[in-house]
Amino acid sequence: MSRKPRHLPTGYSYHITTRCNNREFNLSRRDCREVFLYAIKKAPDKYQFKLYALCIMSNHVHYLIEPAQSEDLPKIMHFLNWYTAMCFNRMLKRTGHFWEKRYYCDGFAPSDRERALNTLRYIHGNPKAAKMRKGFFYDFSNYGSYERLTDDGLTQWHPAFLQLGSTLEECAQKYRGFCQKYKPKGKTPARSHWGSRFLTGVHINPSPEKKRSTRANATQKVAAETGCQVSGNDLLTQVVRQFIEANRAPKEAGKDF
């Protein structure tokens, strides 16, 4: 059965989420997240779009994108997912699907200011909700560019943010206050019982899993030693430096990379 076509009205902003296959933490390595920033920098060479929000987590990525042409959104995501999958499989010495099934996509109209602000806050609040950070600042999220009004070289402010005040400083202050009120909702783990009934009374030997874990650790060690195929790229270094310097916490700004 063919997939149902997405409804993509022109001028909408789209909240996109992509997850690693099997929800594996394949983005936990810093150099993978750096290559992701590089891929986003390359994408506008092919397709025009505005990137309003970005957060690269350990096993998934959030974007808020407005494509110049709505029909280009699948092409943008195809390029990003294809390019990063090729890089990451090579870096991690793995094969097969890197990304899990079809990406999540939810759009809203330019006039829906409340939806835009809630989506921005949800994306920027991911590291806090996952207890990776106590606050909103995170090297691989563009929250810092909203609070500190910096240019990270990849993203721009959403029109809803620019409507919060009469000056940029007022917009940043109000958005910071809006984010401080954020209370992440706890996620209920997915439960499935039908498979358990088939396994009643069956003893599963844990030793093969232990061996697989040992092989995975060895693979990660080799990958860490070999490094990234594009790690020597000057543009990558420039992109990463500008993005992180613009978005990291103020007390950490200026530190060496």
The CATH number of the domain holding residue 138 is 3.30.70.1290
Is 209 part of any domain? yes
**CA-CA distance, 253 to 122, in Å (whole number)?**
24
Q: Which residues contact 65 (CB under 8 A, 6 or more apart)?
A: 13, 14, 16, 49, 50, 51, 52, 73, 76
- Residue 213 pLDDT greater than 80, yes or no: no
The β-bridge relationship of strands 49-56 and 60-67 is antiparallel
**Would you place residue 219 in the very low, low, confident or very high pLDDT band (cuts 50, 70, 90)?**
very low
Q: Which residues pair with 18 in a beta bridge?
A: 61
**Residue 55 backbone dihedrals phi, psi, to 5 degrees:** -150, 115
Is 208 part of any domain? yes
Is 7 part of any domain? no
The pTM score is 0.81
**Identity of residue 146:** Y
Under DSSP, is residue 114 helix (H, G, I), strand (E, B) or coil? helix
Is 8 part of any domain? no
Is 216 part of any domain? yes
Is 67 part of any domain? yes
Q: What pLDDT digit, counting tens, does each position of 17-75 carry?
A: 999 988 889 899 999 999 999 999 999 888 999 999 999 999 999 999 999 999 999 99
Q: Which residue has the tokens 């989420």?
A: 17
Q: What pLDDT digit, counting tens, does each position of 156-194 carry?
A: 999 999 999 999 999 999 999 999 999 887 665 555 555
Q: Which of 162 and 217 is assigned the larger pLDDT?
A: 162
- For residue 66, count other CB atoms closer than 10 A to its CB: 21
Q: What pLDDT digit, counting tens, does each position of 240-256 carry?
A: 999 999 999 987 666 66
Q: Which residues pair with 65 in a beta bridge?
A: 14, 51
Quick one: pLDDT at residue 6?
Answer: 80
**Would you place residue 218 in the very low, low, confident or very high pLDDT band (cuts 50, 70, 90)?**
very low
**CA-CA distance, 94 to 96, in Å (whole number)?**
7
What is the 3-state secondary structure of 132-179? CCCCCCCCCECHHHHHCCCCCCCCCCCHHHHCCCCCHHHHHHHHHHHH
Chain mean pLDDT for the chain: 84
Instruction: Domain of residue 228: give its range.
Output: 13-185+193-252
Total domains in the fold of the chain:
1
**Identity of residue 176:** R
Q: Which regions of the chain does DSSP assign to beta strands (E)?
A: 13-19, 49-56, 60-67, 104-108
Is 1 part of any domain? no
Question: Radius of gyration (Cα) for the chain, nearest Å?
Answer: 20
Is 2 part of any domain? no
The β-bridge relationship of strands 13-19 and 60-67 is antiparallel
Q: Report how far apart, in Å, the C-alpha atoms of 141 and of each of 15, 32, 57, 111, 212 are.
A: 14, 14, 9, 25, 33
